[in-house]
Amino acid sequence: MDNQKILQEVKQSFMLKRVRALDENEAFIQAMCQNDEFNKLYTAYNSKNLAYLRSKFAGENSALKSEVENLKAQLEAFLEKNNIDKSNLQPKYECPICNDTGIVNGKMCNCLLSALNSKKSILMSGKSKFKSFADCDDSIMTEQDFKTRDLLKTWCEKYPNGTKININILGASGAGKTFLLECMANALMAAGHNICFKTAFELNELARQYHIGKSYDFSNCLQAEVLFIDDLGSEPMLKNVTKEYLYNLINTRQSNHLPTVISTNLDLNNLLDRYDERIFSRLVNKRLSININLTSPDKRLS
Ligand SMILES: [Zn+2]
């Protein structure tokens, strides 16, 4: 896929994000307007705000501006009095810098650049397309598989409004771990989220190269909304590299409340043995983590 096509697809997903935020905002306002007091205030605010926005073409109108601000403050006070989150008054864009337009001052916003990177990283992973939840083959799924799928699907649908930010998918080769990671990545991307998908082997190799002075930009791994690390434990353990980079990555992401989803052949004990307490306690944490044990037989053989 050429760069132009990638940009086009990413821009389209941004447009969807914006539409979703605007729709949610409109639904909120409509529901609130059932209340007469709110409705009256909001109607006044809306018409003054429109008048103010129009007047801006002819220069700043400070009297109108303060009227708008005053009405907005009254609306916020009304919501606060009724224990309703006042931030709902405005559309909730993911990027406060560009309001999810991807453009700021005529240039690409960082959020658009990192979304482009994540799209490219998929293409570079050699997969033209990730699997999706719709690709699940019901005929070979156990009851546990259905539960796992529904849990992960719901997590993606709720994102970013969940409390758990680490998902560890454990299980033997062929249990369907990579498949599930791809399904999640796919669902999140379709909803316009920016993800980064790497195998542990790739990540380790990038860290090694960086360690010996070759430049690599880790910002996408650090800042992507959701980072996927496939097959943790399959990478060679390099002194001063593997644990250090992994710790940094996971710790930084956790501090910024950014989810990391891993798959691994290791069980929890082996994970602790291999990566030590610091990493383990960040990955496996009662308050923040979901651990999924896939015990199904090898799907690739069935
Ligand atoms: Zn932005």
pLDDT tens for 243-287 read 999 999 999 999 999 999 999 999 999 999 999 899 999 999 888
The answer to whether residues 230 and 178 touch, using CB atoms and an 8 Å cutoff, is: yes
- H or E element at residue 22: helix 3-32
The SS3 of residue 16 is helix
Structure token pair of residue 159: 């994102």
Q: What's the pLDDT band for 234 if we cut at 50, 70, 90?
A: very high
Dist. CA 179–CA 136, nearest whole Å = 9
- Residue 271 C-alpha to ligand 1 middle, in angstroms? 37
The enclosing H or E element of 97 equals: none
The CA distance from 24 to 274, in Å, is 45
* Burial class of residue 148 in the structure, from the number of CB atoms within 10 Å of its CB (0-12 exposed, 13-18 middle, 19+ buried): buried
Taking the centre of ligand 1 as the mean of its atom positions, its distance from the CA of residue 7, in whole angstroms, is 15
Distance 223 CA to ligand 1 centre (A): 13
Expressed in angstroms and rounded, the spacing between residue 174 Cα and the centre of ligand 1 is: 39
* pLDDT value, residue 301: 43
User: What distance in angstroms lies between residue 36's CA and the mean position of ligand 1's atoms?
Assistant: 36
For residue 103, report the distance from its CA to the centre of ligand 1, in Å. 7
pLDDT for 91-117, tens place per residue?
Answer: 999 888 999 999 888 888 888 887 887
Q: Is the pLDDT of residue 300 over 70?
A: no
Kindly list the structural domains of the chain, giving each domain's residue range(s) and its CATH number in brackets, ordered by start: 128-294 (3.40.50.300)
CA distance 175 to 264: 11
Which element (helix H / strand E) includes 226? strand 226-232
Placement of tokens 């999640």 in the chain: 184
Average pLDDT (219-237) is 90
For residue 14, how far is its CA from the centre of ligand 1 (angstroms)?
10
Phi, psi of 293 (to 5 degrees): -100, 115
Asked whether 218 and 114 are in contact (CB, 8 A), the reply is no
Per-residue confidence (pLDDT) for residue 124, from 0 to 100 = 64
DSSP 184: H
Q: What percent of the chain has pLDDT over 70?
A: 95
For residue 126, is pLDDT > 70?
Answer: no
CA of 124 to the centre of ligand 1 (A): 24
Lowest mean pLDDT among 7-16, 88-97, 127-136, 194-203: 127-136
